[in-house]
Amino acid sequence: MKVYLSVDMEGVTGLTDPEEMHAGGRGYERGCELMTADANAVIEAAFLRGAEAVVVNDAHSSTKNLRVDLIDPRCTLIRGPYKPMRMGQGLDASFDAACFVGYHACAGTPNGVLNHTWMGKEIQNVWINGEISGETRLVAGYAGSLGVPVVLVTGDEAVCEEARALLGDVETVAVKKGIDKFSAELVPPARAQEMIGEATLRALDRRADFRPYTIEAPYTLAVEWNSTAIAASCANIPGVRLAGPRHTEFTTEDYGDIMALFGIFSMIAGTVACSSGVYG
């Protein structure tokens, strides 16, 4: 059995503050330790259930957040920026199960801790084939295009609700309950990581119950940006069309193109926003 982990940070046990999400911020180093501990809870359970290989993808921001010195030595770790498939890097059809750890709800979700979709202020909304999509749907769609089912999602209560609405009876672990975007009622780390391990065991025990989440091709990705400048810049990418002052659209038969395009979008949007000061 091969198990794949995509590990984000906003939904990690104990974290609520934007400062904790970025290198140099207050609490970031401790946040990396907590992120690694959540991942390790899944890895340990996977090997307890007989996994032959566990591949972990650091899927947050710089993708250099998981502590290499603290990660379970039995796994392999994918880290570093500019990975072609970003949050789905390393995933292929050979995996039996995918787990999403530390995920968060899509942009605009009430009481979703650190809710956003792919970027922070730059992206207002994302749709795939006309359906609003957060990162859970985006990455689950990629896994499904490869025939890999998502069996576990951990994060706050809001993303767990989002995952169940999307994926059905998927195992979920809510490690915090959002009060607002930047505050939450937390499950202490020791108990939260125990819950994550228990849920992973349950998920892998019944992995035959899960089916890949599939979106019918062709795939149309629509993005509502916060800026006309970002939309216009992204529309210069071949195949991307301007569908409104702040909207872009892109259609493809290959879901991998969606994942790759988001990486390019992020670089362009980040550059425009960062060079625009208060207007970004």
**135 marked ligand binding residue:** yes
CA–CA distance, 4 with 9 (Å, rounded to integer): 16
pLDDT on residue 278: 81
Contact 93, 147 (CB under 8 A): yes
What CATH number is given for 2-105+146-209 in this structure? Answer: 3.40.50.10780
- Compute CA distances 41 → 90, 195, 235, whole Å: 20, 9, 42
Residue 7 region, left (φ>0) first, then alpha (ψ -120 to 50), else beta? beta
**161 marked ligand binding residue:** no
CA–CA distance, 9 with 155 (Å, rounded to integer): 9
pLDDT on residue 44: 98
**247 marked ligand binding residue:** no
pLDDT on residue 279: 81
Residue 106 has phi, psi (to 5 degrees) of -70, 165
Q: Is 116 a catalytic residue?
A: yes
Residue extents of the structural domains in the chain: 2-105+146-209, 219-279
pLDDT on residue 274: 86
Average pLDDT, consecutive stretches of 10 residues, N- to C-terminus, the chain (280 residues): 98 97 97 98 98 98 97 98 95 98 98 96 97 98 98 98 98 98 98 98 97 98 97 98 98 98 94 86
Give the SS3 label for residue 182: coil
**10 marked ligand binding residue:** yes
Contact 11, 155 (CB under 8 A): yes
Residue 2: strand pairing partners: 53
Q: Give the Cβ contact number of residue 23 at 10 Å.
A: 11
- Class of the CATH-defined domain 219-279: alpha beta
pLDDT on residue 253: 98
pLDDT on residue 280: 78
Which is the catalytic residue, given 116, 137, 176, 247? Answer: 116
